[in-house]
Amino acid sequence: MLERLFQTDSTPCHLREGPAGPFLDGFAESMLAAGYSSRTVGSYVHDADHLGQWAGRRGVAVADLDADLLARFVRHLLRCRCRGCRRAVHKRVAFRVHAFLRYLREEGVVTTSAPEATRPQIVVEYDAWMRDRRGLAETTIAHSLPVAQALLATVGDDPRRLDAACVRKFVLEYIRRHAPASAGCVTTIVRCFLRWLVVQSRCTTDLTEAVPKVPTWQLQRLPRYIPADDVERILAACDRPSRVARRDRAMLLLLARLGLRASDVVGLRLGDIEWGQGRLRVVGKGRRETRLPLPQDVGDEILSYLEIDRPVSAADHAFLTARTPIRPITSSGLRDVVGRAIERAGVEAPSRGTHVLRHSLATRLLCEGATLDAIGALLRHRDVSTTALYAKVDIGLLRQISQPWPRAEVSSC
């Protein structure tokens, strides 16, 4: 494997003779499989050899490497005078040797675990309960744990010290520091955690009633959407000479034509596309499985991306990152794609997130005469009241049924 990276025959032989030599071929192969160029992989291999030589001079075997030793090695780089090493490139060495350590852990060569953020034991148990007993999604758990840990931190990780005033103060301050739209989620998370503490006998008093209630009014807001012409301009903005243009357009079409959520798009796998039947298998909220028809233009764009531009990867996700390391694209990455497309199209959008295209689809269908039931089925709403939000966007119809404001009779007194 190393012979593919270097022009001279002596370099691979020299690298294999070093302390890290037995692991460099596999490391290079894993980096190439992740999509890194041969030149970049060569730099990673040289830095891994540098780490091995440094550790060997101190009597440390490669199998004994850990995060503390890597920190010492990084400090050594500031005054490094090792033969064949250039100080000008030391700023990227720290990142490369950590990648080498991750590879050694994955292969079982290094048994020391990666350092994790310390969490109170109660939070660890709550994490296990949400995952094993309730079967909650990873995203739900990821949103809940920081709030639970922050609440415990206010009383020194001792839930027996919690009282009504403490809970109320925490919730109000936490909501003030975060987006107003997240207030309802925060109160729900706190109530659930407090109930669990009582059931587990970690807290003697049920403090759920101390959590402030956030006032909400059903259907109080208008959905934020973009006119149909502007949606087409956003899609056209992806028609450009670029390696990622086809991928971006395919993802935007799934959002704009089928109203998928961001999690639906980034979670789409190759096996979910049923080409013979012309449909998609989508697993949405609550792990509910649905099959949606695949429009012709969406299918054509996905197929073009898969055949021409999708990087070679062992991952079975449909959409991958364009830059190394090659991995499935994330929801934040998809949000950036939408934001950049809106900016290139020059569209004035009420939001730069992915959900604005979902709202735009529902609004367009309603204006074209689709029923709320049909729209709800496409968007996979469980409750028709959720779809009823879009009934307020047909301003022309609302004007026809609106009643004039009654004139007040002015008393002569």
Indicate which residues carry an active-site annotation: 261, 285, 355, 358, 381, 390
Q: What φ, ψ does residue 320 adopt, rounded to 5°?
A: -120, 160
Q: Is the dihedral of CA 269, 274, 278, 283 positive or negative?
A: negative
Please say whether the beta carbons of 336 and 266 come within 8 A: no
Residue 391 CA from chain centroid, whole number? 31
Output 128-133 pairs: Cβ under 8 A, ≥24 positions apart: 129/196
Computed over its alpha carbons, how large is the radius of gyration of the chain? Answer: 28
> What's the CA gap between 197 and 205, in Å, rounded?
9
Q: Are 185 and 143 in contact (CB under 8 A)?
A: yes
Give me the torsion for CA of 274, 276, 277, 280, rounded to 10°. 20
* Distance between CA atoms of residues 318 and 329, nearest Å: 9
Q: What is the CB-side half-sphere exposure of residue 199 using CA atoms within 13 A? A: 10
The token pair that represents 186 in the structure block: 């925060």
Query: Per DSSP, what are the bridge partners of residue 317?
Result: 269
Instruction: Look up residue 207 and give its two tokens.
Output: 């403090």
Closest CA to 123 of 58, 65, 202: 202
The residue among 22, 30, 53 whose CA lies nearest residue 99 is: 30
Integer Cα distance of 356 and 337 in angstroms: 13
List the beta strands (DSSP E) in 123-241.
none
What's the rounded Cα separation, in Å, for the pair 302 and 243? 14
Measured CA distances, 132 to 122, 185, 200 (Å)? 15, 21, 15
Tell whether the torsion through CA atoms of 339, 343, 344 and 349 is positive or negative. positive
Q: Which of 247, 267, 231, 239 is nearest to 348 (CA)?
A: 231
